[in-house]
Amino acid sequence: MRIDAYEDPGAPDRRGGWRYLAWLVRRQWPRCLAGAVLASVWMVLLAATPYLMARAVDHGLEPGDLGALAGWTGAMVAVGGVNAWLGMMRHRTMTKVRMDANFRTVKVVVGHATRLGAALRGQVGTGEVVTIGVGDVQTISTSLTAVGPGVGAVVAYAAVGGLMLSVSPRLALVVLLGVPALGVLLGPLMGRLQGREAEYRERQSVLTARIGDLAGGLRVLNGLGGKGLVADAFRRDSGRLREQGYRVGAVTSWIQALGVGLPVLFLALVTWLGARQAAQGHISVGELVSVYGYVVALGWPVAFLIEMGHQLSRGVVAARRVVAFLSLEPAPDEGTRDAPAEPSVLYDPASGVRITPGRLTALVTAHPSDATGILDRLGRYTPSDATWGDIPLTEIPLTQVRARILVADPEADLFAGTLSAVIGVPDTDPRGAGNRATSHNAPTPAPGQQPTGADEAPHLTAAINAAAAEDIVRALPDGLKTQVAAQARDLSGGQRQRIRLARALLTDPEVLLAAEPTSALDAHTEATVADRLRAARQGRTTVLAATSPLLLDRADVVHHLVDGKVAATGTHRELLDSEPGYRALVARDAEDGEAAEEGEPAR
């Protein structure tokens, strides 16, 4: 029973934490059953050793029968050898159970995050996703120990009770009632642990998000002089989390202390009762030895039962967080009309922007948020009255929109991996298919649009060339095979911007909507990108939100926006001659540009 990291994880049960844990068991029930059987036999054989020892004493040692003594001793050695093998197989099987639960939970979480797409950030914080990945997944997988040693502990407990019954009904009654009594004593602590663990888990998620925000904006905070204020707030939050951790630790320490101490007292009571019965002649010397052995053997199942309760208490809290995440849903897609069969006009009534197909269009505004809002509406990332041809975008199925329109986010995530994988072509595909790794906004390639797999190499080269990113490849020690850190933090801002542009161009969408794709580049590189971008997108619809004269001069149409609406349309040179506000804006004179957009004359 191997673990396939690429198989379909199945549809998880989202009705609660316990049901999710049960679903993980059902998805690998043969392996879980094997673990339970192996653990049960292993623990029962631990109890068989004192039974064999009692027989060796009563039938071999005490009457002086060396043959019987040798026979029972040999049986103990054989049982010990078999038990050693069973212990190894039990551990191996339960490791596979935990790994399967780990991988399966990771796959369902990542798959659901992908399905949420752009709606993810609006519904859940980054810290929550990170905490699920680094904490909850491990906690859930560890809790599945209950299906192996946990079940085995119950079976062994019953078996030892049965063996004790053959020795003394009184001792058997004490054993059979002792562990339930321990459960009654520890039950309230388990319930309190769940509550404390849930609160700790909530605070941990918030603090993790703060860490990510702090790390990402450290340079900006330094520039504004706000690093100290944020550091103080983080210090206070981390102090609260530490205090909550102490409260969780206090409950856990009581559970562990009582989990060790109460079984010892319980087993001491069983031993004392057995010794008294032997002294009174109610049981033989060999039976007394077996009682001692049963008491020792009970240590394992009792310890596993207590540990099982502890791990399940934590596991169900983690499972509830996963279920809460899996219950998030993207905005309903009510589109029922097919997208235009041919390239068609995109129109945004809110701004008056009309995008003619097959042309390079630029949006120019003193307020970048206005242009970004238009791109989001035309890409259907926000509700609007935008149309594609004569069809409202909201009436077109989202899958069709994403397949043909790409919004290239200037801050799109860059995942760790080789440079080629970061741009969008994996080095190898273990499933034999050319799975393309692109940004979360990337459209699904239309049939016949591009080849995949090894045939993508020419397209990768063309995309890198169009983004003027060849120097990045040449500068890295292993070229496209060089490992790049998450968010490409080991590259400069301009290099990251060109990598994002190359990734967007590699998908070759019918409509490309990009915001400030060259803002971090020097003039020479920006001019190169402008020329190559126009050539690469010849005959395709491209919309750029930019104020760079180098880009605007290559545009077929430029829309000058004032207060989020089209104030003038023409070529770059026409607007330079006829629009003072536009001229001031693209000359990077922010003061004159803002004054012109507010209706004041440009200076």
Model confidence pLDDT, tens digit, residues 478-508: 989 999 988 888 888 889 999 999 999 999 9
Mean pLDDT of the residues in the chain = 79
**542 vs 144, higher pLDDT:** 542
Give the C-alpha distances (Å, rounded to integers) separating 329 from 11, 116, 442: 15, 7, 20
pLDDT score at 436 = 32
pLDDT score at 221 = 47
User: What is the mean predicted confidence (pLDDT) over 404-412?
Assistant: 89
Model confidence pLDDT, tens digit, residues 65-80: 777 778 888 888 888 8
User: What is the mean predicted confidence (pLDDT) over 184-213?
Assistant: 65
pLDDT score at 433 = 35
Residue 464: is its pLDDT beyond 60? Answer: yes
Cβ atoms of 170 and 290 closer than 8 Å: no
Pinpoint the alpha helices (H) of 168-284.
169-216, 218-224, 227-279
Residue 60: is its pLDDT beyond 60? Answer: yes
β-pairing verdict for 565-570 and 353-355: unpaired
Q: Which helix (H) or strand (E) holds 543?
A: strand 541-545
pLDDT score at 49 = 75
User: What is the mean predicted confidence (pLDDT) over 255-273?
Assistant: 72
Other C-beta atoms closer than 10 Å to the C-beta of 10 total 13
Other C-beta atoms closer than 10 Å to the C-beta of 576 total 18
What angle separates helix 227-279 from helix 285-326, to the nearest 10 degrees?
150
Residue 167: is its pLDDT beyond 80? Answer: no
**Structure pTM?**
0.62
**458 vs 196, higher pLDDT:** 458
Model confidence pLDDT, tens digit, residues 303-352: 777 777 778 888 888 898 899 889 888 777 778 899 999 999 999 999 99
The pLDDT-based confidence of 209 (bands split at 50, 70, 90) is low
User: What is the mean predicted confidence (pLDDT) over 595-600?
Assistant: 40
Give the integer Cα–Cα distance in Å for 422 and 412.
Answer: 11
Residue 174: is its pLDDT beyond 60? Answer: yes
Residue 208: is its pLDDT beyond 80? Answer: no
Going by C-beta distance under 8 Å and a sequence separation of 6 or more, which residues neighbour residue 120?
113, 129, 328
Residue 543: is its pLDDT beyond 90? Answer: yes
Report residue 408 CA to chain centroid gap: 23
Give the integer Cα–Cα distance in Å for 486 and 317.
Answer: 30
